[in-house]
Amino acid sequence: MVALGVVLSLMQMVEPARAMGLLEHVLFVPAAAHVNGTGGTTWRSDVVLHNPGGGEASVELVYLKSGEDNSSPAAHPMTVPPGSSVRLADVMRFTGQVSLASGTLDEAELLQPPPVQRAAIERTRGRIDVSQHRVDDACVHLQRAIGLGLRNGDRRFLCETYIDLAAALSQRGEPASAAAELAEGIDVITLGEGLEVDATIDELWFLGFRLAALYLQAGELIAAERVATTSLRHAEHCSAAQGRGRLYALLAEIAEKQGRTREALTHRARAIDELRHLGDRRSTAELLIENARTTRELGPHKSGSETAASARQIACELANEIGWRDGARLAASQ
């Protein structure tokens, strides 16, 4: 087998100063193949997306088939965690080439890979199963991946895989089991010390964010606030701006559910500052719309009305900048 490797660094695809998933360039891989060659060889193009940055990178993958029009190709959005890579099988999974992705994993297993690679193969199989709505099979593969990851001691891998498993369990209609897996993941990865103590794995804030969101969904507001608060402290220790933004937004939602409206406004204002600084205009606009709604519901007050009007105007401008027409209409209606 001959593998032609292509590594695309996502730092080339985002503004280096932000490195948080804002596309700056469109990169083309001019040719890719998975065919038999002469002399019994197999030619395969391997693509690796690598994100060396400190935050999640958002990319869109487009597969342009040879000999076809390709004037309106389907775009497949995905995220690559900070300091992580997404390899060929994942790329093909996102572009809809599921059978080819599975075949690539089959080939890799024939080579009797070491445990680290076996764990990655199991996780990718689980992700493929989720995309194909085979949730029971996905849970089996992801649990195997976690078992292998525990032996390998790769805590970043475990963090990502526990998140995948929780998502699969939620899709299966088992949010309580998903929350239990995330709680177990935090204990396992931090060796029981908790999110506030262990700041060595940046992605841990996201594990806590998902757990807090599940608690909120279940109406367990005290548990949701406790986990979100400790996750926020972890994000602050790691200087994870995206984590701070998303967790402040979540704490705003929790506070509002508890009737602490002014506290919700404060949390949401902090989330807006963080996400606007990162250039996340869609999330910023959504939060501004929420703040305008909440301020209006507090009742007539001159300063509150001015704040709501300002939030509506900025949200409308941001929505128009990114072509979010529904958002612009929603902002104008607040």
Instruction: Taking the CA atoms of 301, 328, 279 and 248 in sequence, report the sign of the dihedral they define.
Output: positive
**Paired tokens of 115:** 């445990």
CB-facing half-sphere around the CA of 65: CA atoms within 13 A: 10
- Predicted TM-score (pTM) of the model is 0.66
Cβ 208 vs Cβ 228: under 8 Å: yes
Cβ 14 vs Cβ 24: under 8 Å: yes
**What residue spans in the chain does CATH classification 1.25.40.10 cover?**
113-189
φ, ψ dihedrals at 7, nearest 5° = -110, 120
Residues linked to residue 23 through DSSP beta bridges, in sequence order: 14
**Could you list the pLDDT tens digit for every one of the 334 residues in the chain?**
334 444 444 433 333 333 333 344 567 777 666 666 777 666 666 667 777 766 667 777 677 777 777 777 766 666 676 666 665 554 454 455 556 556 666 666 666 778 888 888 888 888 888 878 889 999 999 999 999 999 888 888 899 899 999 999 999 999 999 999 999 999 999 888 888 766 667 778 999 999 999 999 999 999 999 999 999 999 998 888 889 999 999 999 999 999 999 899 999 999 999 988 888 888 888 888 887 777 766 655 444 454 556 656 666 666 666 676 766 676 566 6
**CATH of region 113-189:** 1.25.40.10
